[in-house]
Structure 1
Amino acid sequence: MALRPVQVNIKAVDHAAVGRFWAAALGWGVVGGEAGGTSYAGPGDGLGWPPAVGVGIDVVGVPEAKSAVKNRAHLDLASTSGQHQRELVARLRDLGATPADVGQGDVPWTVLADPEGNEFCVLEPREVYRDTGPIAAVVVDCADPRAMARFWGGASDWAVHEVADTHASLRSAAGVGPYLEFLRKAGGKTVPDRVHLDLLPYPGDDKEAEVARLKALGAADLDVGQGDVPWTCLVDPEGHEFCVLALP
């Protein structure tokens, strides 16, 4: 049994506008946009779900605006050259991104925020991300990267690539798409997550059995007022929210 990360879930007051932003930012298609619904951005025309390679972005409408607290999870975008990085930053700002200060200081990457304030980074060229596609990594702040690598390596079918006291990384065992990275940061969760991962069982696997397996690994139930829905909301051992989706 295994679960595959299939999408990054982003909460937004105007999910249609934020969905359009991310689709344009990544060169993807977007579907949805109905009031009270969601907007899904994915490779190609956006209709291929679950994505065959990498992860998509599902923007879910919520009534609450983002607080001033920095998100504990964010996207890192890849660039292929210094010129590409500069052009990408300029294009993203034209699309509605704004500069963000998260205490990064003088660094070679650029920190921006999407139209509703969700932080993300445009990285300088790095060899490790040469074949990831537009999303280099999904990055999660945590207290113990080693423990997070153990949990997420057991929870998902992604392979653990690197583990240290300060950071850890996983990636699809097929070596495609973005990395999942855990960075040691001081401070814990103070507000509900605005950005999280959604996982999907493989055809033939039992979702409830997968949920039970995750709980045995250290996950716990999460009630965000979701009511009777086909997905299951959980938190990992450090309180990061995630969902196990039902098979389509």
Structure 2
Amino acid sequence: MKRIYLIEDDPKIANLLKEYLERYEYEVFLVEAFDTIMEEFQKISPHLVLLDINLPRFDGFYWCRQIRHVSNCPIIFLSARDSGMDQVMAIENGGDDYITKPFDFDVVQAKIKSIMRRSYGEYANTKQADFIEISGFHLYLTAMEAQFNEQTVLLTKNEFILLKTLMEQLNQVLSRSNLLEALWDDETFVDDNTLSVNITRLRKKLEDIGIPNSIQTVRGAGYKLVNTWSGLA
């Protein structure tokens, strides 16, 4: 079941849209706190985000940029602002589509279905051609997803970088400094605690798709990825 994170500050619209989309077997999560959107996003790991522009504290453009730092999951803006400039800004800040309020629920559902199909379904050719595979365990480089035994999990940017690095050097010990260097970029500060947190989250996500104990700690040296899933596929 595909997960949708709905970031909308009008509870009436949010609940009506949630109820409607759940009829089409989407799992819809409503925003709980507008100052912890990124924490909620990381926890949910949605396949798609529906994002209003006019929000408390920071607007939707800001949150779109923050999401794009860690994920390339599809983002559809929902807004009463109908100017061409707002639509341009939505696309330039990383959005995939823009729907103006008031909207027809059928149109929203159709756009979601289309984007899901392009990103994850029959039209996702780049995903199917662009991956690393080890014994039935797939890491899709464009979609930033890991898949095993038809179970799929969406990764954050840091989790994706770590898993890709470990898979490319299977059974080899990588030092913490090597992994920190892989995570480092010009926009995001990373430290030893950042690495530990992301390793923990990545282990949990791999366990969720049936791959336990694959990222092993080598005391005093670093981490290595061990094929614990061979024969389970």
TM-score in same-fold range (> 0.5): no
Q: Which has the higher contact order (CA 8 A, sep 6+)?
A: 1
Structure possessing the higher radius of gyration over alpha carbons: 2
TM-score norm. by structure 1 comes to 0.28
Query: Which protein is richer in strand relative to its size?
Result: 1
- Structure with higher helix content: 2
TM-score w.r.t. length of structure 2: 0.29
